[in-house]
Amino acid sequence: MNSMKQIRVFAPASVANMGCGFDIMGMTLDAVGDVLKVEAAEGAGDMCGIRIENRSAADLPEDPERNVITPALRAFMFAMEGEKLISGGTPHADNVGPSLLGGVVLLRGYEPLDVVRLPVPERFCCTVAHPDIMVSTREARDVLPREIPLRSAVSQWGNVGGLVAGLMSGDVELVGRSMRDVVAEPHRKRFIPGFDELRDAVIAAGALAMNISGAGPSVFALSSDMETAARAGEIMKSHFAARGVASDIYVSKVSNRGARVLND
């Protein structure tokens, strides 16, 4: 009989980009994420001995070469290679970085990988709505311009600087003012029904900012308290329902805890 070793790990969900931080910023959610169970049997051999079981409701590819887990395991960089496969681009860590480390993460550079963990303000709450629509990461990248005007670049740099300054100082209002994306969001919001109308409603309800989470279709709102975050979630749910779109809503504090081993 082969001896078996196993480990169970909780990988918290993350929000990529955070508005202006396209491909370089992400934050970690509290108590929202996936549980990964990995078992290793002696004599299983190389990668051909890996078996991946999907116990979620998500429809994932059965072909191991199209499953984002397989290349991540091969490279053992967990999820960066998976992101490369699903986006058709290069590996990026604005999701896996915060999921591993917790808190808010800045990817200063990729050659070599330079990860900076930023502090999380005490009053930092997030609402995420995941509408039941399909937007592939590759499709969301294809709509982006290959060049941007200098004026837009300057605006984006200012917002990234303001976002980092707000995080360092604990000024959530400055964080909210800075979470504006003039590069990717204007092109990607077409995939999300009534995006501008939804943002206006969420901001009017007291949220500090609302943006697309990563490539979409999820959207997220930042609030300074859980009551406002919950209200934003109700608005998001009603917004998509009025358009015949089901959605899942997650209301959470931003967490300083990253991936961790679970006790059996």
pLDDT by residue (tens digit) across 79-106?
Answer: 554 455 444 555 566 778 888 889 999 9
CA nearest to 65, candidates 92, 85, 89: 85
pLDDT in tens, 112-143: 888 899 999 888 999 999 999 998 888 888 99
Please determine, for residue 75, whether its predicted confidence score (pLDDT) is greater than 70.
no
pTM confidence score? 0.79
Average pLDDT on 215-242 reads: 96
Whole-number Å distance between alpha carbons of 25 and 214: 10
Residue 27 and residue 125 in contact, taking contact as beta carbons nearer than 8 Å: no
236 closest CA partner among 215, 253, 252, 251: 251
Does the pLDDT of residue 166 top 60, yes or no? yes
Burial 217-254 (b: 16+ CB within 10 A, else e): bbbbbbbbeeebbebbbebbbebbeeeebebebbbbbb
What is the arithmetic mean of pLDDT over 231-257? 96
The pLDDT value recorded for residue 100 is: 86
Spatial contact of 189 and 196, defined as CB atoms under 8 Å apart: yes
Query: Do 124 and 172 contact (CB within 8 A), yes or no?
Result: yes
Region 164-186: what's the mean pLDDT?
95
Residues 6+ apart with CB under 8 A from 202: 210, 221, 232, 235, 236
**Residues 11 and 33: beta-carbon distance below 8 Å:** yes
What was the pLDDT predicted at 77?
46
Q: What is the pLDDT of residue 48?
A: 47
pLDDT digits (tens, 9 = 90+) for 177-202: 999 999 999 999 999 999 999 999 99
On average, the pLDDT of the chain sits at 85
Q: Could you tell me which residue, 78 or 10, shows the higher pLDDT?
A: 10
**216 to 55, 86, 150: CA distances (angstroms):** 23, 13, 26
DSSP string, 192-219: STTHHHHHHHHHHTT-SEEEE-TTSS-E
| Peptide bond just before 98 cis, omega within 30 deg | no
